[in-house]
Amino acid sequence: MSVTDPLLKDLKGHAAKLLITFSTEGRITDYDPSLQPFCEILEKIFQQGLNESFQVHKPECWIWLENVASPHHKTSFAYSSSVSKAKNTARVLTDRGRFRLLARLCLSKGVLHHPVEIMLENQAQWGTYKTNSILGDEILGQIFLSVLLQCGKLKFDLNLSNALFLDETWMLPAFENLEFVPCKQLGLVVGFTGGKGAVVVKAQSSGVAAEDDKVMIGDVVTEINGMEITSATRTKLGSIMKQAEGQPIQLSVLRARQTDGKIFPPIQRLLLRLGLHLEIVDRNRPKSKEKQDNVIGFPVEYMGSVLVGAQGDVSKICTGITKVVAEPQTSFKVQMEILEMGVKVTATGTNETICNHTFMEISSCGKYERLPEYFAYIAGDSTSCNTSSEFYCFIFRSGNHEDIANILYSIAQGFQRTHWAV
């Protein structure tokens, strides 16, 4: 096998982008546009070339990753505890889902290289991988290990509770923790299917949970006061609520709708299995947003734009933000829309278009941790950021940190749609 491999090349590219994010922001979150493709390539490498003789069924890397956590191999506690958590949680039901959760746990703890080190030392004896695969080749295996060692030095600040749909996809739905005043009933009717959480099929308008559209039809409740809610615990809902009597109620909720207004595909499949027509979900969209003078998008403040040079990577985000803070431009309120193919910004009131960039033009997005109300994206001066010679940073401000997170996540998802379309 050649000492180069397309998967390794792509992995290194995304790892380099993650390193830039870490160096500028101090951490990597679920909203980073390079995280999902990085994880998808990780999975391909771990799955590539598994010997069929290694398992009775279709080969899954989870099997050997779980075995490595046994005391016999003397791996770290951080790794073995990660395996235990991925194995015992009710949030994932398949070996593929367990691998994905394990990868996220290991990235968060900086120990993803541990099992690879052990496997490479024993590959000749175990024969886990075919010799024409990355992990079956001595040189390529060491290159892969070096990338994981580098990633072990980064801080991954991931929401590890958002794992319910890892059986199906690396994509993550919007996740929210909510708190309600003490009450005997939340006013929700839920359904269960596919071993997942409690899908809201009805929200009583007079109920606490439906107030101000905090919980809506189609949302999935995954925890009540720290207790995981799955098909297995459905009969305990009454006792869980009774135990919480007189105390605030805390819910963990996965949102049915993404920031672009579309229903998260795995949740859409759950709704259809429960016989819940999508028209019902549409009719129960937040009324408060529908009545805001037909305003679409996120209300933010446009702070201006600055030239950041011939490179448009994420390291230039803090450069652009600090420039506009040091030399303020005329700011005004705008509506920011994240569309299927790009980002559109219009002035509030006049509807004048301020910015209109496709995801092909946008090279990066992010925020500056020292100025948490500021965020930005960078776009090139050509129809594709790959052919641009100059890059401009467009800076915005919002006091709603949830909106900022949703905007950056939506742009990140836009990058992925663009990559798939090429």
In this prediction, residues 294-313 reach a mean pLDDT of 86
Confidence of residue 297 (pLDDT cuts 50, 70, 90): confident
Element at 373 (helix H, strand E): strand 371-380
pLDDT of residue 59: 87
Superfamily of domain 6-151: RUN domain (1.20.58.900)
Asked if pLDDT for residue 4 goes beyond 90, the answer is no
Start-to-end CA span in the chain (Å): 28
Tens of pLDDT along 235-284? 778 788 888 777 888 999 999 988 777 889 999 998 888 877 766 666 55
> In the predicted model, what is the mean pLDDT of the chain?
87
Contact status, residue 52 vs residue 43, Cβ threshold 8 Å:
no
- Residue 306 confidence (pLDDT): 95
State the DSSP string of 118-177. Answer: HHHHHHHHH--B-TTSTTTSHHHHHHHHHHHHHHTTS-B---TT--TTTTT-S----EEE
- The pLDDT value recorded for residue 285 is 59
Tokens representing residue 347 in the block = 């002035």
Give the tens place of pLDDT for each residue, 125-141. 888 999 999 999 999 99
The pairs formed by 356-359 with CB atoms below 8 angstroms and a separation of 24 or more are: 357/394, 358/383, 358/418, 359/411, 359/414, 359/415, 359/417, 359/418
Q: What are phi and psi of 319, to 5 degrees?
A: -60, -50
**Tokens at 161, concatenated:** 């509770």
The topology under which CATH files domain 298-421 is: PH-domain like (2.30.29)
Confidence check: pLDDT of 28 > 90: yes
Looking at residue 293, its pLDDT comes to: 38
The answer to whether residues 87 and 49 touch, using CB atoms and an 8 Å cutoff, is no
Q: Which residue has the higher pLDDT, 185 or 344?
A: 344
Residue 254 φ then ψ, to 5°: -100, 125
CATH 3.40.50.80 assigned to domain 175-290? The reply is no
Give the side-chain half-sphere CA count within 13 A for 360. 8
- The domain ranges of the chain are 6-151, 175-290, 298-421
Q: What percent of the chain has pLDDT over 70?
A: 91
More confident residue, 108 or 228: 108
pLDDT attached to residue 161: 92
Given this model, what pLDDT does residue 255 score? Answer: 92
3-class DSSP assignment, residue 370:
coil
Q: What is the reported pLDDT for 89?
A: 92
Cα dihedral 87, 90, 94, 100, rounded to 10, equals -70
Selection from 48-57, 113-122, 276-285 with the highest mean pLDDT: 113-122
Cβ atoms within 10 Å, residue 352: 11
pTM of the model: 0.69
Residue 61 has pLDDT above 60, yes or no: yes
Q: What is the mean pLDDT of residues 320-331?
A: 93
Q: Answer whether residue 21 shows pLDDT above 60.
A: yes
* Average pLDDT for 68-82: 90
Question: Which 8-state DSSP code applies to residue 189?
Answer: E
The dihedral through the CA atoms of 321, 324, 325, 331 has a sign that is negative
